[in-house]
Structure 1
């Protein structure tokens, strides 16, 4: 599969103003983005994800390493490279607030060297696709957050770039608008074969839309894998264990130490331990905790797991993630 974006060993450090201490935000990050795929670029706050996004968009320069967009080195041929990618960054939408919906689309198309006549049909199509027809002559600063976000994405699509980066596309939106945007993104990815990079803390969005995910933590890539494979892997490790009696405080302490990501739900009727076992043999250590005080296990079942749980397991787990 052809590569549209290549990130090769980038590093980024910052100097704290007060202490003059050097902070490493990104450490030797490498990955590729293929044409036509929907990629999730994820990471907890402070993990280096935002710095990576800004370097891909040309807003920051890496201290070392290289980024290629459609084969063009972004440091050597910045303007030509950036013509192949458009972005909607959270908190910095690509809109003019004192222009109307239609005027924004026409203005940003003009910035790309396109005339009104050339893009008239495409503007009409996007206004209809994003359900902005009733708002097309209203100023952007009078629109709701959801309408502004829809317009920002429409502007990014109008550029006809091969790759689109959407930073927190559903943040702060109501359920209806969020669902509408997800459907539009799916349509664009499938019918227009555009490459879409989604950065989001909304894990259901990632699970629904993304083919593959890259997770960055502590400045490095810790996962580069298909979403489907991650769900399958972690699902085989997730168990729900029903007990015949409650665990003692001593047992609960041992459980927290040996299985820090487990959940114990004490109940007089039905105590339950929910746990993800990283290795098959960990089941023996778990049952030793039960056996120590004669706790009887009533049943043990595999449980379903969603991508939010997968993400939390990866970024908070003490052991490094690795595919089985």
Structure 2
């Protein structure tokens, strides 16, 4: 199994330089999976470099799960190949599995009658590793996920969030080249989620582990991933760094607050001339009326503000809105036929609605 050592100077949320002349940790070529007339995965090709963290995003039903299971050899593709390092997953699955860890069903991955440490030892043993040789690794995982005091407790007696932590720790319990994680932060508290981000970056930066991370938690994807692959309708519609994907949608958007209620004629003028959206009325006397607008350049902003002032309104505040990964995700999937509601639900998943843009002073 080819696994070049990769050391980077990437901090949390930064970008790793590519590894030159290295065999990809995961290589997918022309992968297609059909179920009768349904094409779940449609001619997908991609490489994942050693020691990188790659996020996999897509609306519900986009083909992510089928793609991941095909990459793991759990689903036999209709056409195409998958290699883990230099091993063909479907031709030699036993060898490939020795180099891969996966968490696909959350807490269902672990044995609930065993204690936490017994689960860690069992999953490490699957690859022939002695529990004694990896005890330090297990102790670190137990501490990072707040499980040290629960090490000798049966998993069945733990809370849902604790079970999720055990499943994560078991996936990382052995020294593998590639880890596939599906919704790893689901059920975790904020502190545990932050600890997970740090551990994933440490494993990639210090141990050259490759991580393929599928999640609806945009904060996690944005914080730890070197690249993001967005899948829609079975096809890869984007494959780039977080910064570059966000840059695609870095338009000049503003939230403008007016001191006082604008006239009906001014609102009509702004709606028609500048495509204003998101009107928010004043919550009470002395409060502001706000709206959002996306403009082509600074001259349009000046023209809009001129119209407001000419109508006798006072501009209380102008806030520039900076797009984030969720904006890029929604923009790319909606552009290809996804409805805003469906894509938004997929982006937010179990975590609820989030702010779609960061605010910054212009």
Q: TM-score range by the shorter chain?
A: 0.7 to 0.9
5+ residue gaps, structure 2: 1-18, 339-362
| Match of residue 76 from structure 1 | 91
1:265 aligned to 264, 267, 279, which one?
A: 279
Provide the secondary structure at the position in 2 that maps to 1:60. coil
Q: Which moved more, 1:210-219 or 1:113-122?
A: 113-122
Mapping of 1:1-324 within 5 angstroms? 1=19, 2=22, 3-15=24-36, 22-91=37-106, 93-240=108-255, 245=262, 263-267=277-281, 271-276=289-294, 302-317=320-335
Distance in 1 (CA, whole Å) between partners of 2:263 and 2:236 is 40
- Give, in angstroms, the shift of residue 93 of structure 1: 3.6
Q: Which moved more, 1:161-170 or 1:91-100?
A: 91-100
TM-score of the two chains, using structure 2 as the length reference: 0.73
5+ residue gaps, structure 1: 16-21
Q: Is the 8 A contact 1:123 1:158 kept in 2?
A: yes
- Give, in angstroms, the shift of residue 300 of structure 1: 6.8
Provide the secondary structure at the position in 1 that maps to 2:249. helix
Distance in 2 (CA, whole Å) between partners of 1:130 and 1:168 is 16
Compute the RMSD of aligned alpha carbons.
Answer: 3.4
Distance in 1 (CA, whole Å) between partners of 2:27 and 2:225 is 18
Count of equivalent residues: 305
Distance in 2 (CA, whole Å) between partners of 1:199 and 1:314 is 17
Shift of the 263–145 alpha-carbon distance from structure 1 to 2, 3 Å rule, reads farther
- Give, in angstroms, the shift of residue 73 of structure 1: 1.5
Distance in 1 (CA, whole Å) between partners of 2:313 and 2:41 is 48
